[in-house]
Structure formats: C-alpha cells, structure tokens
Amino acid sequence: MDSQITIRKAELKDISEVFAMLQELSAFEKLPQNVKISKETFEKDFIEKAFTSFVAERSDGKLVGYTVSCQAYSTWEGRVMSLRDIYVKPELRGTGIGRKLFITTMKDGYKAGCNSAFFLVLDWNPAVKFYKELGATDITEKENYHIFKVLTDDFVKLCTSTE
C-alpha cells in the first residue's frame, strides 16, 4: 500500500466525503436509485453511533476509500459484524488500500467481540475474488442461503397496520 495513505476511524468532519463515496459505490453497482437516505440522516446516524466507518486518507487530507460496518447478533455465534460498504476510488484500486481497509475494519469488530463477519456482493462484481483472497466463504454457494428483505413500502405497511 502507498505509504502516503493512512487508514483511520472516520470523524464527523469526514461524513460529507464518505457520503459522496457511498453514492459513487451505488453508481458502480448500477443501483444509484438505492441510496434513499439524505446526507443529514447519514450524519445523524453517525453521531448516534448506528454504524462505524473507517477511511483511507491521502497525505493532502483527501479521502480515497472507506468502509461502513455495524454489529448484528446471531443466536449461533453471538455478536457478528455486518460489513455494509467497502470502496476505494478507481484511480487507486489494486494498490492494497482495500485490503488494509477490510482488515482494519475486521480487527475493530473482533476487538468489540464479534465472532464472524458477513456482507453481500453482486454476482458480477470482481470484488468476489478480493473477498475470497481475504478468506471469505460464499455461503450462497456453500449453504444455499437466500437473502430476504421486507422492502420499505411493505415494511411501512406492516408496521403501521392495526393488526
């Protein structure tokens, strides 16, 4: 990794830049319409510690990558880390920043008591190779899992029903 790059925990002052990068990530995934939260909500959730973020910072202070993660709970394993996003700016990919961001984020979860980590990857994304090289297992292939989600409209309908 470029020695001019520092990996550190995100601070409030970084949140605008992280929000811009999460929009770049959703465009890369060809799902830009999926970012439904505002920068203000993201900032508020950061302040309220709903998630943790690490950033990769260039020596001039510009951010070139980030992760967002949070904790979930498994009745099999106890605390587990949910890695929500990992992203490196295109011009710096393949220089080891992603690997360093991934390992730093995992170590932070491990220190906080997590026993494993999970995340979603689109099947066409070359990042599949990146994750496998870091020791991750494709549990859709191995264990036939399907991922279910109650989508926003259905979620609101369920939660506001009088039932």
Binding region for ligand COA (CB under 6 A): 25, 28, 86-88, 93-99, 121, 125-127, 129-130, 133
Rg (CA), the chain: 17
Give catalytic status of residue 131 as yes or no: yes
Q: Which residue is nearest to ligand COA (CB)?
A: 98
Q: How far is the CB of 86 from ligand COA (least distance, A)?
A: 5
Q: Which of 73, 87, 131, 145 is catalytic?
A: 131
Give the residue with the Cβ less far from ligand COA, 15 or 101. Answer: 101
The 3-state secondary structure of the chain reads CCCCCEEEECCHHHHHHHHHHHHHHHHHCCCHHHCCCCHHHHHHHHHCCCCEEEEEECCCCCEEEEEEEEEEEECCCEEEEEEEEEEECHHHCCCCHHHHHHHHHHHHHHHCCCCCEECCCCCCCCHHHHHHHCCCCCHHHHHCCCCCCCCHHHHHHHHHCCC
Give the residue with the Cβ less far from ligand COA, 24 or 40. Answer: 24
Give the residue with the Cβ less far from ligand COA, 64 or 114. Answer: 64
Give the residue with the Cβ less far from ligand COA, 111 or 129. Answer: 129
Q: How far is the CB of 158 from ligand COA (least distance, A)?
A: 28
Strands of the sheet containing 117-118, edge to edge, are 6-9, 52-57, 63-74, 78-88, 117-118
Q: How far is the CB of 6 from ligand COA (least distance, A)?
A: 14
Q: How far is the CB of 18 from ligand COA (least distance, A)?
A: 13
Task: List the catalytic residues.
Answer: 131
